[in-house]
Structure 1
Amino acid sequence: MTAPKNEKFEIMGVNHLALVCKDMKRTVAFYSGLLGMPLTKTIDLPNGMGQHFFFDIGNGDSLAFFWFPDAPEAVPGVTHPAHLVGRGSITTAHASLNHLAFNVPADRIDEYRRRLEAAGIEITPVINHDESERQASLELTPSTFVRSIYFLDPDGIQLEFAAWTRPMGAPGDVRHDPATADDAARYLALQRVAEPAE
């Protein structure tokens, strides 16, 4: 199967994604110390504005963090999910970062889960995203397209280790019309119908 191609811009991946942390030293300890991402560039911003650090996340891509001394506090359920996947609502505000997924080898996801758990990180079971009614299973199914584990960084940013089980873009992978702001009421009504009676 040939992968879909961007015919408008030659985008070669993610140069860097810039997030905001509360404590840069703690962030370096987590991303470099625990997750092993090499720290590749550090910047003290001019006029006491803060710092901007870069981590290598593989494939020529980087993850960057800003630290601003005057940044507002994070608000769970607004700036980032209030819960891990499967443990409550993962809804966040428009323009927020809901979660960040790192691509990992499919044959190592169970090992990586055990290693994070051994390091004291709260982590979900391996979730097999599939075409079932609930769109997820704890078991690998014939329609599983990605296997995931979710955990939090020190600021509550939800991270995912994700392992594709097949190429995306197969027939049937793109079949839904994109929702608009006007569709919100209809979707909220569907959620109310799906909620279990108390």
Structure 2
Amino acid sequence: MIKTKGINHIALVCRDMKETVRFYTEVLNMPLFKTVQLPDGGQHFFFDCGGGNAIAFFWWKDAPPSAPGIASVRKFPFDAKTAVGSMNHLAFDMEEAELEAALDRLAEAGVEHTHAVLNHDDSPRGYSPEMHEGVFVRSVYFTDPNGIMLEFAATTKQFGPEDVAHEPASAQEPA
């Protein structure tokens, strides 16, 4: 039987390693803890994002260009449909009490972001401007210098069987 302990790291591709290191270490305060020079001239750097988890980046001088609307979001956070097999966004777990400070820090650093905490709920719109008992996650969305959509997410409730209420859709049948 396979038994995992969680996510070790996620590996993404950046356009400029120096710019990426500055953003993740100085803006997001994620320490750089390992660097690798690849035999093909590329680099692979690892950042500590808390809780024993890491985010890593590859860089190659000749990497293909980004493809917004295909492999990354076109315009965050509400035109977020991406291609099958792509990474849509990366959410970092955060205490709810830290979300307002995160908004301030992103603004200070000049990072484009949602200018309010979004309250995700089960309403038809999927979020509420106000906090209420049906909110299950509160989020702040922003993008890094590579156009990767990131999220600070604070879970606000414990989930139970009632939270699994939808049949999975199939490409073979209408949703």
Q: How would you bin the TM-score normalised by the shorter chain?
A: over 0.9
- What does residue 104 of structure 1 align with? 94
- Determine the C-alpha separation between the residues in 1 that align with 2:134 and 2:40: 53
Residues 78-157 of structure 1 mapped to structure 2, 5 A cutoff? 78-86=70-78, 89-124=79-114, 125-157=116-148
What RMSD in Å do the two structures reach over aligned CA positions? Answer: 1.2
Asked if 1:33 corresponds to 2:23, the answer is: no
Asked if 1:14 corresponds to 2:7, the answer is: yes
Structure 1 or 2: larger helix share? Answer: 1
Q: CA deviation at 1:51?
A: 0.6
Q: CA deviation at 1:70?
A: 1.7
Q: Point out where structure 1 has 5 or more consecutive residues left out of the alignment.
A: 1-7, 188-198
Counterpart among 38, 46, 51 of residue 54 in structure 1: 46
- Determine the C-alpha separation between the residues in 2 that align with 1:75 and 1:133: 30
Asked if 1:70 corresponds to 2:69, the answer is: no
TM-score by length of 2: 0.94
Identity %: 49
Question: Considering only CA atoms, is the larger Rg found in Structure 1 or Structure 2?
Answer: 1
Q: CA deviation at 1:16?
A: 0.7
Higher alpha-carbon deviation: 36-45 or 132-141:
132-141
TM-score by length of 1: 0.84
- Determine the C-alpha separation between the residues in 2 that align with 1:46 and 1:181: 41
Q: Point out where structure 2 has 5 or more consecutive residues left out of the alignment.
A: none
